Copies of this chain bind each other. A is one copy, B any other.
Amino acid sequence: MTLREIAAWLGGTVVGRDDIEILRPAKIEEAGEGSITFLANPKYARFLAKTGASAVLVGPSLDLGSVSHPALSFVIVPDPYVAFLRILERLVPSPDPFYRGVHSTAVIAPSAKLGEGVSVGPLSSVADGVTVGAGTTIGAGVMVGKGVAIGSQCVLYDRATVYHGCRLGDRVVVHSGTVVGSDGFGFAPRPDGSYEKIPQLGIVRIEDDCEIGANCTIDRATIGETVIRRGAKIDNLVQVAHNVVIGEHTVIAAQTGISGSSKIGSYCRIAGQVGISGHVEIADRTTLLGQTGVSKSITEPGKTWFGTPQREHVRSGRIEAVLRHLPELRIEVDDLRRKLDDILRTITK
């Protein structure tokens, strides 16, 4: 692959010779002839002068004029690290982790329909009425319930589980141990304090291009649908309760939980261990910092929140700045009271 081809593929710009052949990626301090490396951290800039690499991926802010290495070519890209990983993935292909074809121990129900090029690993079960789109990969020990519809080019890693009737779009990735479509947590109290189960009759629908991490739980709706909208990315051990809607291209970090019927906007960024109460709405482009507890709706888009109960981040920082010195504030108030009492005694004397 020439540097020109690499730059075109990455959407980057070459500075220097672009007809050189790139054979492999390498670390900046170990790179030799024919290799491409990257500079993301300014701490490594000193290696630029002496690297043996033929080309370096750099960010747009680097001053190339300052680099005294005439033989070196550069590719300017928005994020050199990500670009390097993409090259790494392409030039050093890791072995395919999946079984290809339908393994002899997979249990495929007679009425299930597998599209072209679908793989099903060992000891997986695909129940009656399931449809799987072309090019989708199902790993080992995966359980797909009756009537589930899975789109094309999806990947279900080992031991993922999809309950009956749920629907996945195209290019959806579900990691190991995740459960899609378990019953929502709905119980009606009886007069004696015991509980009666409320039937959970809906489904989960995951739209195109979503990725769901490992050991997550996404509950089916009571009626209707729990929805993960297009392009949303969810980390490990995340809980999504019944009838929740997660907006497009929202990212949610590990161990966050969203209670029933809450609606999360699009392009939100939700950190780890956040808890969101039931029946709240969160505006688009909201950022929630780690461990935040959201108990009321957030209506204004694009703000950052922190704490339990949630506060706007800047306000939260101001409160924290005083809270940190609360023992001293307490002493100060005691001191004021003493002085005030002295004055009162002086005056009334």
* Chain B residues within 8 Å of A125, by CB: 121-123, 140-141, 158
Residues B319 and A291 in contact, CB atoms below 8 Å apart: no
Residues A179 and B187 in contact, CB atoms below 8 Å apart: no
Partner of A333, one of B193, B253, B329: B329
Is there a chain B Cβ closer than 8 Å to A159's Cβ? yes
Copies per complex of this chain = 3
Give the residues from 74 to 92 in chain A that come closer than 8 angstroms, CB to CB, to chain B: 79, 82, 85-86, 88-89, 92
A sample of 13 more A-B contacts (CB under 8 A), given A99-B127, A217-B254, is A82-B188, A107-B123, A123-B143, A141-B159, A157-B182, A179-B236, A194-B209, A195-B231, A311-B324, A319-B326, A336-B337, A336-B340, A343-B343
Residues B213 and A182 in contact, CB atoms below 8 Å apart: yes
* Chain B residues within 8 Å of A97, by CB: 145-146, 163-165
Known contacts being A179-B177, A198-B82, A254-B217, is A146 close to B95, with CB within 8 Å?
yes
Residues A201 and B94 in contact, CB atoms below 8 Å apart: yes
Give the residues from 226 to 258 in chain A that come closer than 8 angstroms, CB to CB, to chain B: 231, 233, 235-237, 239, 241, 248-249, 251, 253-255, 257
- For A, the interface residue count at a CB cutoff of 8 angstroms equals 110
A22 to B256, CA, bound (A): 43
* Chain B residues within 8 Å of A290, by CB: 259, 275, 277, 293, 295, 308
Residues B319 and A324 in contact, CB atoms below 8 Å apart: yes
- Closest 8 pairs between A and B when the two form their complex, measured CB to CB: A217-B236, A97-B164, A182-B214, A89-B199, A143-B158, A179-B214, A107-B122, A239-B254
- In whole Å, how far is A249's beta carbon from the nearest beta carbon of chain B? 5
Known contacts being A158-B145, A217-B214, A233-B185, is A339 close to B344, with CB within 8 Å?
yes
Residues A185 and B253 in contact, CB atoms below 8 Å apart: yes
Residues A322 and B326 in contact, CB atoms below 8 Å apart: yes
* Chain B residues within 8 Å of A140, by CB: 107, 125, 127, 143
